[in-house]
Chain A
């Protein structure tokens, strides 16, 4: 047995190592965050929200078309992905046998780990090639594929927490199972389900890789859904790797807007999540 003094010294040493590691983990993350906020605030202006990008060489311009494009893409992806995720979750929580439910859960977990660029390639072969062109539709489809497993898994977790007595009470009153599922079970889990939806939206709002060869991006406004469409992450990407100082500024401003959106969504998701636990 080693002496107590040595063991205490070792304890202190390892405590120091762990504190130092935590600091080392937080420092770069905080540096990045502070840098985005600083550069973002010094670059952002009203033009950023109202103008589209200026041609190379001209100063000014904004990302209005990118913001609108991202909004349209997210809205379309949500319209497709959220119902599929929620109804799939209802199957797992209310109907599915143990084995098949586990297979689907496993599939969802694995699916959400597939690199998003592959989702983009698949959307390309399924929609861009047959429709003969890059389009907002293909971009939204790729984003929906990313949303589905996230919404499904979080919704299912929430549905499983609803007590059976609620379901039984509703069924005993003669309410059919499907109405019970929608009006009683899903409704009482709604706050938690919202958390999942917000997190899924936060995830796809920043996705860039799956849009590279589906939505493609657009310097101008898009008029139709079967045309290439601008999206904020795509614009940040192309401006960041461009050699122009002015475009870098736009990219920083875009990053600030995106990070603000992301934190807003995460915080409201947390708010919903917390409300659920207290009740």
Chain B
């Protein structure tokens, strides 16, 4: 039997004690993820406290935002964020799902791959560049062409009243649609690829047309995954900052008209946080950030759970 000292020396020479240090480092870094998450929540809550104490729940319902008088209400920003993201998702979802189906089920292999690669490449373009295009190309085009057209033909609706500013809720919705399309498309594509071949073959064997196969075998199987993709797109739209800030007009008003400028939660933070006039002002912006954080945490948790359930089924399926 070697003595304790000998064993220890042997371990040292062989670098076994290095294992403990190494494991310690990996544990530390892996848990840093959770530390960062908790730290974010803790910091945001802490910094929001002065505003919470002052305004309570009224903060969410308040319509006034006056840095000089120290009155802060977040409703116009919440309204802007909700409306712009929901409308963008309503337009983007059918287009993205149809495109994903086209890539996975209809297009010839090579061509589908090219379209998918193109979409993914475009998803990598930074949002500030979408904003650049939005403010210098799209907004003037909306102002000169689209908005006058809408006012002439649909002007009797409250959604299309007012003057054509270019920068507007409509511009924000458009830019968000363009930005979430690649995201929803590429995740939906992954989900649809997980649909087992046997399912599709069964539908075809029963005499289904291709569309019937898609409707009966592909889409129902991918339902929860597609929902996950859409919710992830929603998270992206709600948190999108630069592009929206550049085209939405930054005016904290609640208006039914899509033609008038509006404001979103990330935009007001981006515009005001570096130059706050008082601690209360900074705290109010922090509270808006906290609302945004809580909303995106819930959205992302939900989306991930849905997507995880799909990919796990796929792994189980391939083994069996």
In the complex, which residues 76-116 of chain A have their Cβ closer than 8 Å to any Cβ of chain B?
83-85, 87-92, 94-96, 103-104, 106-111, 113-116
In the complex, which residues 170-201 of chain A have their Cβ closer than 8 Å to any Cβ of chain B?
174, 176-179, 181
- The one of A18, A145, A237 in contact with B106, judged by C-beta atoms closer than 8 angstroms, is A18
Cβ proximity bits A10-31 to B, threshold 8 Å, 1 near / 0 not: 1100110111011011101100
B137, CB-defined interface residue at 8 Å: yes
- The one of B25, B36, B137, B241 in contact with A115, judged by C-beta atoms closer than 8 angstroms, is B241
Cβ proximity bits B32-46 to A, threshold 8 Å, 1 near / 0 not: 111011011001100
Interface centre among B18, B103, B117, B121 (most CB of A within 10 A): B121
User: Which residues of chain A are within 8 angstroms of B274 by Cβ–Cβ distance?
Assistant: 134, 212-213, 216
- The one of A117, A207, A270 in contact with B269, judged by C-beta atoms closer than 8 angstroms, is A117
* Assembled-state Cα–Cα distance A43/B211 (Å): 48
- Beta-carbon contact of B127 and A118 below 8 Å: no
- The one of B99, B117, B181, B266 in contact with A18, judged by C-beta atoms closer than 8 angstroms, is B99
- Beta-carbon contact of A87 and B299 below 8 Å: no
- The one of B23, B98, B118, B129 in contact with A178, judged by C-beta atoms closer than 8 angstroms, is B23
B209, CB-defined interface residue at 8 Å: yes
User: Interface on chain B toward A: helix, strand, loop, or mixed SS?
Assistant: helix
* Assembled-state Cα–Cα distance A87/B98 (Å): 40
Cβ proximity bits B277-320 to A, threshold 8 Å, 1 near / 0 not: 00000000110010011001101110110000000000000000
B135, CB-defined interface residue at 8 Å: yes
B6, CB-defined interface residue at 8 Å: no
User: Which residues of chain A are within 8 angstroms of B146 by Cβ–Cβ distance?
Assistant: none
- The one of B26, B47, B133 in contact with A36, judged by C-beta atoms closer than 8 angstroms, is B133
User: Interface on chain A toward B: helix, strand, loop, or mixed SS?
Assistant: helix
- The one of A96, A177, A258 in contact with B126, judged by C-beta atoms closer than 8 angstroms, is A258
- Closest chain B CB from A111 CB (angstroms): 6
- Closest chain A CB from B147 CB (angstroms): 17
- Beta-carbon contact of B40 and A122 below 8 Å: yes
Interface centre among A8, A32, A121, A126 (most CB of B within 10 A): A121
- Beta-carbon contact of B130 and A32 below 8 Å: yes
* Interface size grouping (class) on chain A: 35 or more
A136, CB-defined interface residue at 8 Å: no
A162, CB-defined interface residue at 8 Å: no
* Assembled-state Cα–Cα distance A209/B240 (Å): 9
User: Which residues of chain A are within 8 angstroms of B301 by Cβ–Cβ distance?
Assistant: 106, 110
User: Which residues of chain B are within 8 angstroms of A179 by Cβ–Cβ distance?
Assistant: 15, 18
Closest 5 CB pairs of A and B: A206-B126, A115-B239, A178-B22, A21-B98, A113-B300
Q: Knowing that A18-B102, A208-B127 touch, tell me 14 more A-B residue pairs with CB under 8 angstroms.
A: A14-B211, A22-B115, A32-B129, A33-B125, A84-B29, A87-B25, A87-B28, A103-B34, A113-B232, A121-B285, A174-B14, A233-B128, A236-B128, A236-B129
A interface with B by C-beta (< 8 Å):
7-8, 10-11, 14-15, 17-19, 21-22, 24-26, 28-29, 32-33, 35-36, 83-85, 87-92, 94-96, 103-104, 106-111, 113-119, 121-122, 124-126, 134, 145, 148-149, 152, 174, 176-179, 181, 202-203, 205-209, 212-213, 216, 233, 236-237, 240-241, 248, 251-252, 255, 258-259, 262-263, 265-266, 270
- 24 pairs of residues in contact across A and B, judged by CB atoms under 8 Å: A17-B98, A19-B102, A22-B98, A25-B99, A29-B122, A36-B129, A87-B29, A88-B32, A113-B299, A114-B293, A115-B266, A117-B292, A119-B40, A125-B47, A148-B32, A202-B124, A206-B126, A207-B126, A208-B242, A233-B126, A233-B128, A240-B131, A262-B124, A270-B117
